[in-house]
A and B are shown apart, each in its own frame.
Chain A
Amino acid sequence: MQNAIEIKGLTKFYRGKFFRLSVNPSLDNLNLNIPQGCVFGFLGHNGAGKTTAIKCLMDLIKPTKGSVTIFDLPVDSKEARKKIGYLPDAPSFSSHLSPNQFLKTCAKLVGLDWQLRKQRIEEVLTDVGMLEYASNNMGSFSRGMMQRIGIAQALLNKPELLILDEPLVGLDPQGRRDLLTIVQKQKELGTTVFFCSHILSDVEKLCDSVGILSKGKLLFAGALNQLTSSDGIVVKFPAEHLAIAQSFMMQADSSKKIDDGGVALEFITNNNWQLIKRASLPSNVIIEAHHGTLEEEFFKLTGEDTPGNT
């Protein structure tokens, strides 16, 4: 299958005062291939380099080293651009324009025929729930409304690759749900979606693959289930066996109460669950494979503790 995005050795040092290159790179030798039709979530803390990577993808900033191709085309070629829809981070488009005027210019730039323009603009505005505000001045729009307009302009050319930089920021719960529906719809249409977000639960719901970036370095890139696959066991002790559970408490990596008053112990570190395996446990003690959540794996990879874990 053809790759939608191919990033090879992408490195970016920004220039600071007196045009000196910064000491630490914003992107450090990033290599990434994203197959066509994949929904890829790009994760990382603030300042990890996600937006820099996306801007390199869009040729908005020039990499210090490395190359990017989109559907095997150079990123600055018009052919590549025709296939892309892009939502910038925190857009605040010209306040004196109405969505209709702004999208009309965008429609001309993507080469839509004038007969089709009005219809397509109405379609995308309906998709993002902004049709009733089509003639209002964008100066009065909230951040969430502006975000929806940003998504509308990204969808205008029916892109084969949709690049969304923090699309969920500023959206209310309804807006978030609408966006997730749009991404789902695009996924069904075979569109490749590349998006970065801080909302890990949404990434987990939508993405086939994820990439985790920290301080400009890619820590993980691959299928989501590869990241959250079984890496230990969970042993569920019913209430009547709390005493047995107590004896394993010290070896467990974490514990939490379960519905029937019992306790679930997680054994992720190898040595600990070998101990459990050897022990003879009552028959109503349930042993399940442990599946890490994206949040747990994210914090594990980036070297931080999962918030709220005991």
Chain B
Amino acid sequence: MDEVNAIAEGVWGRILRMKILYFLIGCAWLHIILSSQYEALMLKEQKMLMADMSFFLAGLGAVLSVLTLTFDLSKDLRQGTAIAYLSKSVSRTQYIFGKFLGTVWVGVVVTVLIAIGFFMIHNATYGSLPVVMVKAHLLIIISVLPMAAIALFFSTILSEAAAAVLTVATIWMAYSANAISSVSMLYGGIVPDLSLFNMRMEAVHGTQFGWSYIGLAFIWSVVYSVGLVSLSGIFFNKRDLG
């Protein structure tokens, strides 16, 4: 496990040290603050706009965080960093699992920071914070797991550009539950059902959903991620590197 931690630390240690990341999170917070000012435009429903904006930005932050993996892995392989690491006593499976965990941690930090900003702004503006908002944000944070697994899978078999495009396309498809729900084999199976994590509508309109739902979504995302990371491991182990 030390080897996995070392690889994971290499990923999050590097990304979380980037100043641009905090600048972008600051921009997200500013956007949330500004959206609370559209009183006339939103016919005094700007609270909903602000909540919706925070969910959108947290989701975007999660997608961008997992996309770093598609570039990171290919770059490491191309530059020889991965080869230097893999020449030590670390297996290929441990290496990609470390990359996965590091990316998940980055995604979690980014989405948590955006959510915390929103909670503080909401609380300061309206004096309260509905629990459903916290729950919906929690689901976005959990969604980092399957999304990172998708990014890892494509990066282990494809070049960085192809992996990034296919990752975005798959995530988009996975969120478009209505569009593909008729293809039962794909929906909720090979392509994950990420609409499970999309509770923006419920949160904005104050419709309650239980903690058990979040628990089940978490279990599903862990199982799906373990499956896909293992599959990625099989492909990565068979691949010629360098």
Contacts and interface: CB of A to CB of B under 8 A. Distances in A.
Interface of A: 14, 55, 58, 60-62, 76, 78, 81-82, 84-86, 88, 90-97, 101-102, 105-106, 108-111, 150, 153-154, 157
A64 B91 CA distance: 21
A106 B88 contact: yes
B89 interface: yes
Contact of A78 (B7, B84, B91): B91
A61 B14 contact: no
Interface in B6-31: 6-7, 9-10, 13-14
B10 A105 contact: yes
B80 A109 contact: no
B76 A88 contact: no
A78 B86 CA distance: 10
18 contacts: A55-B241, A60-B86, A60-B87, A60-B240, A88-B242, A91-B84, A92-B80, A93-B80, A94-B79, A95-B79, A108-B3, A108-B5, A109-B6, A109-B7, A109-B85, A111-B2, A153-B84, A157-B88
A109 B3 contact: yes
Given A94-B81, A105-B6, A109-B3, A60 B242 contact: yes
Most buried by A among B6, B81, B90: B81
Interface of B: 2-3, 5-7, 9-10, 13-14, 75-76, 79-81, 83-91, 238, 240-242
B89 A78 contact: yes
Contact of B87 (A61, A84, A90, A97): A84
B204 to A, nearest CB: 39
A72 B23 CA distance: 53
B83 A60 contact: yes
A58 B240 CA distance: 11
Contact of B242 (A61, A76, A92, A94): A61
A14 B240 CA distance: 9
A55 B87 CA distance: 10
A42 to B, nearest CB: 17
B79 A93 contact: yes
A94 B7 CA distance: 13
A81 B80 CA distance: 17
Given A88-B80, A93-B79, A94-B79, A109 B14 contact: no
Contacts of A153: 84
A61 B92 CA distance: 12
A56 B223 CA distance: 34
Given A60-B86, A88-B80, A93-B80, A108 B240 contact: no
A108 B75 CA distance: 21
B89 A62 contact: no
Contacts of A111: 2, 89
B80 A91 contact: yes
Contacts of A84: 87
A89 B76 CA distance: 14
B88 A110 contact: yes
